[in-house]
Amino acid sequence: MPDRPTVAIVGAGFSGSLLALHLLRAGPPDLRILLIERTPGFGPGLAYGGHNPDHVLNVRVSNMSAWPRDPDHLQRWLAARAGSDSAQAFITRGTYGRYIADMIQQAIAGPDGAQRLILVHDEATGLARTSEGFRLTLAMGRTLFVDAVVLAIGNQPPAPLHGLGLEQLPPTLYASDPWAKLALAGLEAQAPVLLIGTGLTMVDIALALGSRGHRGSIQALSRRGLAPHRHAVVSPIQGQGSTAIDSPLSHLVRDVRRRATAIGWREAVDELRPSVQSIWRAADQTRRRRFLRHLRPWWDIHRHRMAPVVADRVEAMRGSGQLILSAGRISRVDVTEDGLAITWYARGAVDEQVMYASRIINCTGPGGDPRHTQNPLLRQLVSRGMATPDALGFGLDVDGDDRVIGATGRADPRLYAVGPMTKGAHWEIVAVPDIRNQVAELATRLGHWLGLEAVG
C-alpha cells in the first residue's frame, strides 16, 4: 500500500482536473493525487480541448469560475492573459480549456506541487480490491496501489442508433461519434450531410462543417425538430418560484409558465435551476421517466441555450437554406452508388419521404450507459459487479455522496464517480457550475476522510 494517503483520479478532463485542484486545497498536506489521462493534455478534456473559434461556451464568464467561493477567478485570469475581463462574455471552449490546464501547471509548479499532484499519461484498464484500498492496472503495464479511486471519465460517445443498421456501415458513410477525428474527414465540400439530433451537438457539428468551408446541404433530423434557444440579457434572480420539490410535474410546468409570464421565460428557467437537483432526487423512477418522455426536449432547448454569436451563425445557415431542421423519424437507410438513401416520415405524416446524404453523423448527444461503453475500466467494473448502471442508463449508480454502488446494492466507501457519469443521480451535472459544486463538496469529504485514515 502507499506510504502516504493516495487517491487516483481516472480522467483529467474538466471534472477530474478540477477535483484534483480542489483536493490539493482540501486534502491533508501529505496527500498524493494521481491524475490519470490516456489522451494528450491535462485539463481541457474533450469538452474544452478543441481550437475551433466557432465553438463558444454557452455559459457566461461570470458563471464559469473553477472556484465556487471565488466567482471572479476566471474573469481575473482572462484579464491577465487574454486581455478581456467582461463577466458577460461568452469565451471559446479552447480558451476555457487553457484556463483549466494553466491551473494544473501552476499547481505542479507550486511548493511540493510535483510531489503532491502527479500526472500519469496512461489508460486505466483494471481495478481490484486489496485489504486496504485498490490495485489499479494501467495499459502500459504499471500497477498503482491507492487508498481511493474517483472515476471522472466524462461524456461517452452517443448511444448506438438501433434498428437501422447504421453501426454496420463504414465510417465514410456513418460517424457514430461526432467528436472522433475522422467524423468529418473526406467529405467533399458539396456533399449532403444528415445530422441525427437537433440539440447542441448538432449545432457544434454544423458550425464545424461551416468552418471547414462545407457548402453542401446539412439536414438535421430529430423526433420534434427542436433547436436550442439563444441566450439573451437577463435580470438577476430576485427570488424563487413556489413549486415544492415533490410537486407533480403538471404543477411544476404550471408554475414555470406562470413565472415566465411574470418575469420572462429565461428568468423563470434560471430561477428554477438551484432547485433542479433537489427536484430530481426527490422524484421516483416513474416520475423521472415521465419527465424524460414528455418534458425533457422542452427543458433542454430552454435550459441549454446558444451563445448569441453561435445563434447568429446557426440562423444565418438556416436563412441561407444550407441548414435544414426537420421533425420526423427514419424508417430505413439504404446504401446507393452515391452514398445513402434515407427513408423517413415527417412528424404527423403518413407518407414516407426519401432524402439523400453522403454521410450520416450521430448528433443525439453524449451517451453514458456503461453497458455500451468501449472504456475498458468501466466494462470491467460492471462485469465484475463493482459498479452498476443507473436505472435510466445515463451512467453509474451512485449514492448521495457519489460513492459507486455495486451489484450487491451497497456503496463502496473508497470508489467514487463525478461529472456526467453521475447524471442518473443528479440530472443537472453536465454544466460547469454544477460539476464545480460537486467536486468541491467531494474534495472536502474525501480530503477529511483521507486525513483521518492517515492519522488512524
Residues in the chain: 456
What pLDDT shows up at residue 383? 95
Q: Is the pLDDT of residue 394 over 70?
A: yes
* Strand arrangement of the beta sheet that strand 143-146 belongs to: 124-129, 134-138, 143-146
Could you tell me the three cell numbers for 423? 447524471
Could you tell me the three cell numbers for 227? 433547436
Say if residues 192 and 221 touch (Cβ distance below 8 Å): no
Tell me the H-state helices in 264-307. Answer: 265-282, 285-290, 296-303
The full set of domains in the chain, from first to last, is 6-156+367-455 (3.50.50.60), 166-229+305-362 (3.50.50.60), 249-303 (no CATH)
Average pLDDT score over the chain = 91
DSSP symbol at 422: G
- Backbone phi, psi, residue 351, to 5°: -100, 140
pLDDT in tens, 199-229: 999 999 999 999 999 999 999 999 999 999 9
30-34, 91-95, 376-380: which range is least confident on average?
Answer: 91-95
What pLDDT shows up at residue 5? 92
Percent of the chain with pLDDT over 90: 74
Instruction: Determine the Cα–Cα distance for residues 47 and 32; give it in Å rounded to an integer.
Output: 26
pLDDT in tens, 290-347: 999 999 999 999 999 999 999 999 999 999 999 999 999 999 999 999 999 999 999 9
Q: Is the pLDDT of residue 448 over 50?
A: yes
Q: Is the pLDDT of residue 96 over 70?
A: yes
pTM to 2 decimals? 0.92
| pLDDT band at residue 455 using 50, 70 and 90 as cut-offs | very low
Q: In whole angstroms, what separates CA 454 from the centre of its chain?
A: 34
What pLDDT shows up at residue 57? 83
What is the DSSP track for 184-226? STT--TT--EEEE--SHHHHHHHHHHHHTT--S-EEEEESS--
Where residue 339 falls (left for φ over 0; alpha for ψ -120 to 50; beta otherwise) is: left
| pLDDT band at residue 33 using 50, 70 and 90 as cut-offs | very high
Q: Is the pLDDT of residue 3 over 80?
A: no
pLDDT in tens, 239-272: 555 566 777 888 889 999 999 999 999 999 999 9
| pLDDT band at residue 55 using 50, 70 and 90 as cut-offs | confident
| pLDDT band at residue 83 using 50, 70 and 90 as cut-offs | low
pLDDT in tens, 154-193: 888 898 898 899 999 999 999 999 999 899 999 999 999 9
CB atoms near residue 232 (< 10 Å):
10
- For residue 174, list its beta bridge partners: 360
pLDDT in tens, 362-391: 999 998 889 888 899 999 999 999 999 999
